Structure 1
Amino acid sequence: MQDFAEHWVAPLAEGDGWAEADLAAAEERLGHRLPAALREAYGRFGRRTDLTANRDPLLDPAELHLDAGGHLLVLRHAKEGATAWGVPLDELHRPDPAVVLESDGSRRPWLDRLSVALVELVLSESLHAPDGHADLLEPLDVATLLALEDGYVQLPFPDYPVFSAPAGSRWFAGDDVLLRADDGGALRARARTAEALDGLRKDLPGNWLRADGA
């Protein structure tokens, strides 16, 4: 995340993380110690909303709470809809516990390591960056998907479900671009520059949402 912030957004700096006192106060209020992976993330970049809160934010330590049933520590909320990410209380003793997704009254596995879920959070939030270097291609047809697989590098990231792709998603990278292909027909892209985004649109032509500058 330090490397990603430096090359894609802005370098991490002193003050970008929450202080130990903030984390200790959250733990005292909740009655549970936070997993080491979450503590490390909060301490290094937890206050960087440009990394963690473009759409579905990582909650501040003071906002962490238990779900209605008292069985899940909720750490992230969707901007729209009753969807949340969290760690089951019986997993909190692990340094890097599994994360589940709770939506519309049902719960399903998300990722089996919190550290990976936090990486996913930052990457996915980058797809909604307000700098204009993000776009959405929908639908993602078979020909475009094959071109994506042939011309871009798939990142070593586990398959996992997202809202629009219950069967899973995959991450790819190219020259100054990151892409998430959602099984179900959508491709989200984040570029480091406007030129890189224009090059991606030419390489993978289709119905890009912001191709006209919208």
Structure 2
Amino acid sequence: MTLDLARDLPAALADRTAAWRLIAEIAAFWGAPLRPGAGTGAGIDAGTGAAIDAELDAAETRLGLRLPAALREAHRLIGDRPDLTGNHDTLLPPAELYVDRGCLVHRVENQSCAYWGIPLAALGQDDPPTVGWPDAAPSVPLEITPWTARFSTECLAVVLTEPLLDEAAYVDAGEVDPAGLADWTELPRLHEPGVDTRFFARPEGLLVVQGGSWLAMRAVSQEALDALCEKLPVSWLDH
């Protein structure tokens, strides 16, 4: 299967239906297709769909708030796929959603050093923006950073990033000068200004650069991974 992220990302960033469709294509590209009808209810197993909806309804009752449509759809789509959402950081299941810092927390860094959430004031939107903040003591002044313009965009960023950190796949990581990525296609930015995360693609691989230099990469095969690692000026962890 081919994947043309440079072509398809702009539409996915503007419309959550297109975002869900692209997430399904990304999963299939890595050989891990979603269940039929996931995210839409069309063709999804009735028992599975009912169970997910019951968990989401219980979360609403427990929290005393309504969950945005995009969050509910995302859990039907990828809520049970830690291979796509939880190799490093964790997309919280409905039973673990909670409120903190005036936000509905939906994702937590793997050592609880950072958190991502939806501002409570935006919960009335179908596809609300997301924000992020580092772990800090309650007495420490905290700046909450705008993260993505839409929750569906946050889900796209998660599914583009987390499979690159799957140690059972064809992956590697290291420090890179982005100037050395001239042979890769830089994709449209998913995050808000101030979030230093950039995605680059080739037909045989995908990589993310965070914090200006930290790179994680996944390839479609061991041969492709070896060839890409040989070409890039990176101090690799495993090569």
- CA pair 195-160 structure 1, distance change in 2 beyond 3 A: farther
**Residue number in structure 1 paired with 2:214:** 186
**Residue number in structure 2 paired with 1:170:** 198
SS of 1:158's equivalent in the other structure is coil
**Paired AA for residue 159 in structure 2:** V
**Residue number in structure 2 paired with 1:43:** 76
Deviation at 1:159, TM superposition (A): 4.5
**Residue number in structure 2 paired with 1:73:** 104
Using CA pairs under 8 Å that are at least 6 residues apart, name the structure with larger relative contact order, 1 or 2: 2
**Residue number in structure 2 paired with 1:26:** 59
1:175–1:196 contact (8 Å) kept in structure 2: no
Q: Deviations over 1:98-150 (max 9, x none)?
A: 11102133221111111101111111111211214111121x23xxx2231x2
Q: Quick one: which of 155, 158, 168 aligns to 1:131?
A: 168
2: distance between equivalents of 1:98 and 1:119?
13
**Paired AA for residue 130 in structure 1:** E
- CA pair 167-63 structure 1, distance change in 2 beyond 3 A: closer
Runs of 4+ more than 4 Å apart: 14-18
1: distance between equivalents of 2:199 and 2:212?
14
2: distance between equivalents of 1:60 and 1:125?
16
**Paired AA for residue 197 in structure 1:** L
- CA pair 186-36 structure 1, distance change in 2 beyond 3 A: same
1:61 aligns with 2:94: yes
**Paired AA for residue 168 in structure 2:** D
1:2 aligns with 2:24: yes
Q: Quick one: which of 12, 15, 38 aligns to 2:34?
A: 12
**Paired AA for residue 126 in structure 1:** P
SS of 1:55's equivalent in the other structure is coil
Structure with higher helix content: 2
User: Would you say how many aligned residue pairs link Structure 1 and Structure 2?
Assistant: 200
1:180–1:189 contact (8 Å) kept in structure 2: yes
**Paired AA for residue 111 in structure 1:** T
Which one is further off, 176-185 or 111-120? 176-185
Q: Quick one: which of 121, 135, 138 aligns to 2:158?
A: 121
2: distance between equivalents of 1:87 and 1:9?
31
Structure 2 unaligned residues grouped into runs of 5+:
1-22, 36-43, 137-141
2: distance between equivalents of 1:100 and 1:41?
17
Q: Percent identity?
A: 41
2:26–2:159 contact (8 Å) kept in structure 1: no
Q: Deviations over 1:68-91 (max 9, x none)?
A: x4x110000001143110001001
